[in-house]
Amino acid sequence: MMKSIVDKVLAGDIRTVARLIRDIDDGVPEVRQYLKELYLHTGRAYVIGITGAPGVGKSTLVDQMISHLRAQKKTVGVLAVDPTSPFSGGAILGDRVRMQRHSTDQGVFIHSLATRGYFGGLTQSTQSAIDVLDAAGKNFILIETVGVGQDEVDVARTAHSTVIVVAPGMGDEIQAIKAGILEVGDILVINKADRPGADKTLSDLRLMIEMGSKKYEQGKWKPPILKTEALFNKGVADVLKQIENHAAYLKKLTGPIPLRRRKEKVEQELAEMVKNRLIQEGFEQLAQTGAFDEAVQSIIDGKMDPYTACDTVILPRLGLLNRKV
């Protein structure tokens, strides 16, 4: 039975892939076993993150990128982690209707990751969903996120190439992503470039890139800045071209090791996994001791501060900390 699920994913069975991703999103514990088996079949897909503030046109760009990739006979998986994305059921009706054109194409798989477990793990869920799509044989996986919160930046980091999308005349929004832009953006796109202020946005972005110039020495990747009008399919091919260039750059860095197994990616992914397991196991153990409720009551009664409660009531009950405290 278990074999059959893994086999179905490897064969690219859409329904099984969809169910598995939904189970990942819901945090069903049994999926771990499938993910273990699927992992060894991953490493072939190229993962592209598309991130930016609401309203800049990320979904339209994704939609056009799908068409371009399909024209090249590539298969595509899309994960929308963006509550405003038409892919995830947000945004306005027109956008949603536009997306429909890909819904009957067997080479395209679109899914939204909606929820987030009580103990975080959006990055983990996204990575697991990527693994499933990768094992299912998708050539490209596009991940759409809102690039404002730290969570979204972390999700963007799971991609091989991250595209940051901005629109002219949204000064504040540019500020909003400024902190993370130089760190996670591999390609910068000014969408809706026919709007007033596009050149101002271009020079602003260029300045930001230059200000961070220490990081872009000889031979290092320097994020190109592109103008697009995704709605009219203008400039979209250039975006894909730059992604190709970036992929070639990464491949040169990594050598024969598949991108999926680059040291920093593996470290980041494993750290995320260990973190989630620590929390999960810790709280499971805790639930059996009643220590948490005990500590809460002491704090409510004003007998203890939460720092002390954590150190003296909770942590000693967890085997983890037997070495000290």
- DSSP single-letter state for residue 86: G
Query: Roughly what angle, to the nearest 10 degrees, separates helices 2-10 and 31-39?
Result: 50
231 binds its own copies (CB under 8 A): no
Q: Between residue 261 and residue 280, which ones bind its own copies under the rule CB under 8 A?
A: 261, 263, 266-267, 269-271, 273-275, 277-279
Phi, psi of 81 (to 5 degrees): -110, 30
Tell me which of 7, 83, 97, 232 binds its own copies, using CB under 8 A.
83
Q: Between residue 284 and residue 323, which ones bind its own copies under the rule CB under 8 A?
A: 285-286, 292, 295-296, 299-300, 302, 305-311, 314-315, 318-323
**Of 130 and 243, which has the nearer Cβ to its own copies?**
130
Tell me which of 100, 103, 104, 150 binds its own copies, using CB under 8 A.
150
- Minimal distance, residue 294 CB to its own copies, in Å: 11
Letters for 8-47 (x = contact with its own copies by CB under 8 A, - = none) are ------------------------x--xxx-xx-------
Helix/strand/coil for 295: helix
Burial of 2 (0-12, 13-18, 19+ CB in 10 A): exposed
Tell me which of 52, 77, 90, 223 binds its own copies, using CB under 8 A.
90
**Of 55 and 290, which has the nearer Cβ to its own copies?**
55
179 binds its own copies (CB under 8 A): yes
Q: Between residue 43 and residue 62, which ones bind its own copies under the rule CB under 8 A?
A: 53-55
> Cα(159)–Cα(165) distance, rounded to whole angstroms?
15
> Cα(309)–Cα(55) distance, rounded to whole angstroms?
45
- Minimal distance, residue 312 CB to its own copies, in Å: 11
Phi, psi of 288 (to 5 degrees): -80, -15
Phi, psi of 114 (to 5 degrees): -95, -55
- Minimal distance, residue 68 CB to its own copies, in Å: 24
Q: Between residue 156 and residue 175, which ones bind its own copies under the rule CB under 8 A?
A: 170-173, 175
Phi, psi of 82 (to 5 degrees): -120, 115
> Cα(270)–Cα(262) distance, rounded to whole angstroms?
12
- Minimal distance, residue 38 CB to its own copies, in Å: 8
Whether 59 and 87 have beta carbons less than 8 Å apart is answered as yes
237 binds its own copies (CB under 8 A): no
In 3D, which of 107, 61, 84, 79 has the Cα closest to residue 21?
Answer: 79
> Cα(84)–Cα(93) distance, rounded to whole angstroms?
12
- Minimal distance, residue 202 CB to its own copies, in Å: 18
250 binds its own copies (CB under 8 A): no
152 binds its own copies (CB under 8 A): yes
Distance of CA 274 to the CA centre of its chain: 18
Structure tokens at 19: 């169910």
